[in-house]
Structures are given as structure tokens and as C-alpha cells.
Amino acid sequence: MIRFFLLQNRQGKTRLSKWYVPPPTNASTGADSESEKVRIEAEVHRLVTARDKKYTNFIEYNNYKIIYRRYAGLFFTIAVDVQDNELSYLETIHLFVELLDAYFSNVCELDIVFNFNKVYSILDEFMLAGEVEETSKREILDRVKFLEKME
């Protein structure tokens, strides 16, 4: 199951953050859920940017596994259960990038910043409740375009 999905640039700015399972709160420090999310996002960014390219795109972190991929200046990161298949989630990241590329025709970071509601809409048609809902690129894009017509 997908715990969270992050899209971050090289500087560490989170451009998209979707949490399917709330982060564990630390009772000893009194940290709330939002501050814990920010802390985890910063730590995940530090882990993936500092990692050498000769290593795999999988990192075991706390009680889940981080799968990431870099496209241009953006890091796409998924945190999943430890027993889940890493390669299937690498393909999931790639399909999401293909969806964004097809929708925005050659997507860039500015498309994501200025059209974040459309990016969330595409993500919601692709993943539901921490599981991949649909894998057909054509089907997902048709649904998103149908929802646009309804607006």
C-alpha cells in the first residue's frame, strides 16, 4: 500500500504531497501531524538527493520503503510497505510522469506549480486510497478531460 506520494524539486521545495496514511506522531515530542509531514518530507528529500546514481532507487526508511525517480529537476517519491514490489512502483512513477507529459504536452515544473489542481485530479484518477486504481493512460486522461467538461 502507498503511504505517501511526493513530488519535490532539487532545492527541496515540495510541489505535490499526497498522504494516504497519516504519519505516526511522536508522543514524546508532542509534534502534530502536519509538522511530522514536513519533517518527513525534508528527511526524504535529503535522503534521495544525497544518494549516488550508482545505487538503486530504493531506500528503507523507518517502517516503509522509499522508491524514487528523478526526471529533469524533479524527484518523484513513493513510500510503500516494506513487502511491496519496488519495480511495480517504479513503473507507477513512470506512468504518472507519462500522464503528466501527455496532459500538459511536455510537462515542466511550472505546469505543476500553476496547475496543481489538475495534477491532483490526475493523481486521484490514477491512485485511490493508497492503491493504483487504473493503469490505462488513455482511460485516465479521458476521465480527466470528462471532468473538465463538467466544470
Tell me: the pLDDT tens digits for 43-99? 999 999 988 888 888 999 888 999 999 998 899 999 999 999 999 999 999 999 999
Give tens-digit pLDDT for 109-120. 999 999 999 999
| Separation of alpha carbons 86 and 66, rounded Å | 9
| Separation of alpha carbons 36 and 107, rounded Å | 30
Tell me the whole-structure pTM to 2 decimals: 0.90
**pLDDT value for 27:** 59
| Separation of alpha carbons 92 and 35, rounded Å | 28
| Side-chain half-sphere CA neighbours of 66 within 13 A | 23
Give tens-digit pLDDT for 4-51. 999 999 998 999 999 999 887 765 555 678 888 999 999 999 999 988
Average pLDDT value for residue range 105-110 = 88
